[in-house]
Amino acid sequence: MAHVARPDFPRTIVEFHALFPDEESCARYLAQSRWPDGFSCPNCGCIEAYALPKRRLWQCKGCGRQTSPTAGTVLHRTRVPLQLWFHAAYLVSTMTPGLSAVQLQRQLGVGTYETAWTMLHRLRRAMLRPRRDRIGGPVEVDECFIGGSRSGKRGRGAAGKVLVVGAVEVRGEGSGRIRLGIIPAATQAALTTFIRGNVADGARVFTDGLASYAPLASLGYDHRTVIEDEKRNHRNILPRIHRVFSNLKTWIKGTHHGVGAKNLEVYLREFEFRFNRRRTPMAAFQSLLGLTSQHEPQPVRRRWARTVRS
């Protein structure tokens, strides 16, 4: 197999069908994604192989060893045609706020609800794989309550609510990647543990004046406190993280009609996945199918001369 660049990601459903009209085109795409530099036999290193598309296998021309490009992906050992999996992953990755098993069944025309549910479940589980890297500065960090009848800032009646802490990369006027976590309370220990686990060492970190953030400087972060004043309400002082929280609340309300604390962790991971790949549907599609390492796309670094001032 000669070296072939990864194909462009389809922008529309029409382009999608043109790119993946049959099982063979899907199998070819799989192989190109798994072996972007061309096939190489894990047994003998030979770079030539016969495709056995019906069995989703490649057979080495040198030693005859059969290799599966679906090993370790959601596509492995399923009877569902590749084309349906591709279509499902396309829908799940491009349709914010996501879709239900009933919608998927209807869209794919698959016979049973159970099949659609299983596919959807496996694709969504792919969003929950643990991340390895930390986001880079500068970042904004804040907390908010999710759930219950009202959401709001810390300190208010927290019955039935879950405290979520979030960090977002400041990128010019916009936002880069995010990290979200659930914490029991806005304590020093909880907040610094979250930040150390999710934000690169030494990064500039903007927070409000909550005392629990005070140790950040001694932990090596370039901590900047943004003070709320009477002219500016709280919403305006850390605009990016507040926008993230507001989108998160809208998404949870609209898609999941509110969630209990038990499921919130799963929804936070899905929201993170979608948010961090919102400009790179190709990366989302491939991650869902398990075709890439789990590294998130790095946002393009822009000059950010005009940024939040503390």
Query: What does each C-alpha distance from 267 to 102, 168, 204 come to in angstroms?
Result: 19, 17, 28
One of 44, 95, 185, 219 touching Zn ion (CB under 5 A): 44
Residue 52-91 contact track with Zn ion, rule CB under 5 A, x = bound? --------x-xx-x--------------------------
The residue range among 39-47, 181-189, 211-219, 251-259 that interacts with Zn ion, by the rule CB under 5 A, is 39-47
The residue range among 35-43, 109-117, 189-197, 286-294 that interacts with Zn ion, by the rule CB under 5 A, is 35-43
Taking the least distance from each CB to Zn ion, the nearer of 43 and 187 is 43
Taking the least distance from each CB to Zn ion, the nearer of 43 and 96 is 43
Count of residues binding Zn ion (CB under 5 A)? 8
- 243 near Zn ion, rule: CB under 5 A: no
Taking the least distance from each CB to Zn ion, the nearer of 65 and 243 is 65
- 92 near Zn ion, rule: CB under 5 A: no
One of 46, 182, 210, 214 touching Zn ion (CB under 5 A): 46
Taking the least distance from each CB to Zn ion, the nearer of 60 and 88 is 60
| Shortest CB 1 distance to Zn ion, Å | 13
Taking the least distance from each CB to Zn ion, the nearer of 36 and 62 is 62
| Shortest CB 186 distance to Zn ion, Å | 57
- 41 near Zn ion, rule: CB under 5 A: yes
Angle between helices 261-276 and 281-289 (to 10 degrees): 130
One of 22, 43, 260, 295 touching Zn ion (CB under 5 A): 43
Look up residue 233 and give its amino acid: N
Do 277 and 297 form a contact (C-beta atoms < 8 A)? Answer: yes
Look up residue 268 and give its amino acid: L
Closest CA to 308 of 192, 200, 196, 172: 172
Taking the least distance from each CB to Zn ion, the nearer of 65 and 253 is 65
Taking the least distance from each CB to Zn ion, the nearer of 63 and 189 is 63
Residues in the chain: 310
List interacting residues with Zn ion (CB under 5 A): 41, 43-44, 46, 60, 62-63, 65
